[in-house]
């Protein structure tokens, strides 16, 4: 039989999680492998990129959509369990759960609206006017945006110690802090007057960058927090600082940071997720496509 599409996997996943226990993604995938009635050859069938089995990829998407609709939740990193709403859905004994079914839940509608902006007729006309390269670019951007949202959600759930690890990993991959060991020892060891750590600007340590990192789930970082950080930098006679947060910054904070000395860089949750994707922190490559064009010079006869 053909490999099930991701929508047809939603109900089997929810039923599996009806035991109200926590299950990892690997457990969910294993369950789908056992109950999907596909052949061993189909289980091994890969995406065009050759990076991941098709059935595994579709299982991940189905799980993510159920979570966006509030039918399952992630109490811990890499772990999921059914919610009260999910149990209520199972009690109704639906014959199918798909995107249309999930649209009855406001959280899912908001998710789809934010990412797709519910393409109206005019937007469909625009899509029809795009060439294949533009359509590919738009699809790539949509996948990237959804990944960034998932990534930031996981970072916010992480412990302060793990968030510290994320910061170290990101900065070292960006070329700061020297080695991972150097950066790890430098971050989280100060904790004085609004400074969480000091890292090298380059591997030689020709200059130092002072760091403040706040893992906030709600609210925004306001001007007073930035003023406190700047005051700490001035007390250390520092010329550069980075303020990282999983939240966002108020307009007052942004305006203040632009004109202040020493120079500081503000990285909010959205920028943090983008940098993590760009530098392969907390993400792995699934698909890669080479877009080619005709080589006209090849066909030029001399």
Low-confidence residues in the chain, pLDDT < 50: 118-119
Its pTM stands at 0.62
Counting other chains too, the contacts that 250-253 makes at CB distance below 8 Å and 24 or more residues apart are: 250/220, 250/221, 250/222, 250/223, 252/222, 252/223, 253/220, 253/221, 253/222, 253/223, 253/225, 253/226
Given this model, what pLDDT does residue 131 score? 60
Quick one: tokens of 9? 């996997």
Angle at 178 between CA 174 and CA 183, to 5 degrees: 90
Given this model, what pLDDT does residue 1 score? 58
DSSP 201: S
Strand order of the β-sheet with 72-73 is 23-24, 79-82, 72-73
The CA-atom distances, in angstroms, between 82 and each of 16, 158, 175 are 9, 20, 41
Given this model, what pLDDT does residue 50 score? 67
8 A C-beta contact, residue 211 and residue 244: yes
Q: What distance lies between CA 81 and its chain's CA centroid?
A: 20
8 A C-beta contact, residue 138 and residue 130: yes
* SS3 call for 265: strand
Quick one: tokens of 110? 């908001």
Q: Which residues of 148-178 are buried (b: 16+ CB within 10 A; e: fewer)?
A: bbbbbebbebbeeeebbbbbbbbbbbeebbb
**What phi and psi, each to the nearest 5 degrees, are found at residue 202?**
-145, 175
Given this model, what pLDDT does residue 105 score? 94
* Residue range 2-61, pLDDT digits in tens: 788 999 999 999 999 999 999 998 899 999 988 888 888 888 888 766 678 889 889 989
Catalogue all structural domains in the chain, each as residue range(s) with its CATH number. Answer: 7-118 (1.10.10), 160-278 (3.40.1340.10)
* SS3 call for 42: helix
User: Measuring CA to CA, which residue among 68, 62, 70, 80 is closest to residue 20?
Assistant: 80
**What phi and psi, each to the nearest 5 degrees, are found at residue 47?**
-60, 160
Angle at 61 between CA 55 and CA 67, to 5 degrees: 135
Given this model, what pLDDT does residue 211 score? 86
* SS3 call for 278: helix
Given this model, what pLDDT does residue 73 score? 93
């Amino acid at each position: 039989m053909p490999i099930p599409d991701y929508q047809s996997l939603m109900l089997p996943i929810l039923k599996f999680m009806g035991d109200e226990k926590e299950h990892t993604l690997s457990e969910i995938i294993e369950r789908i492998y056992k109950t999907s009635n596909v052949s061993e050859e189909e289980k091994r069938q890969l995406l065009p990129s050759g990076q991941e089995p098709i059935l595994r990829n579709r299982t991940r998407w189905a799980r993510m959509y159920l979570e966006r609709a509030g039918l399952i939740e992630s109490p811990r990193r890499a772990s999921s369990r059914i919610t009260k709403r999910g149990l209520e859905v199972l009690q109704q004994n639906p014959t199918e759960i798909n995107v249309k079914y999930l649209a009855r839940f406001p959280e899912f509608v908001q998710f789809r609206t934010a990412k797709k902006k519910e393409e109206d007729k005019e937007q469909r006309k625009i899509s029809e006017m795009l060439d294949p390269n533009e359509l590919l670019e738009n699809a790539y951007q949509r996948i990237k945006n959804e990944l960034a949202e998932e990534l930031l959600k996981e970072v916010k759930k992480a412990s302060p110690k793990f968030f510290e690890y994320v910061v170290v990993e990101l900065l070292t991959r960006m070329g700061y802090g020297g080695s991972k060991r150097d950066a790890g020892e430098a971050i989280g060891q100060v904790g004085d007057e609004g400074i969480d750590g000091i890292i090298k600007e380059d591997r030689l340590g020709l200059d130092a960058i002072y760091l403040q990192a706040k893992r906030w789930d709600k609210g925004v970082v306001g001007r007073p927090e930035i003023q406190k950080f700047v005051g700490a930098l001035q007390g250390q006679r520092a010329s550069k600082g980075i303020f990282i947060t999983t939240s966002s910054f108020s307009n007052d904070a942004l305006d203040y940071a632009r004109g202040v000395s020493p120079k500081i860089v503000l990285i909010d949750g959205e920028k943090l997720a983008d940098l993590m994707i760009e530098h392969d922190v907390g993400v792995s490559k699934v698909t890669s496509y080479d877009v080619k064009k005709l080589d006209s010079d090849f066909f030029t006869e001399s």
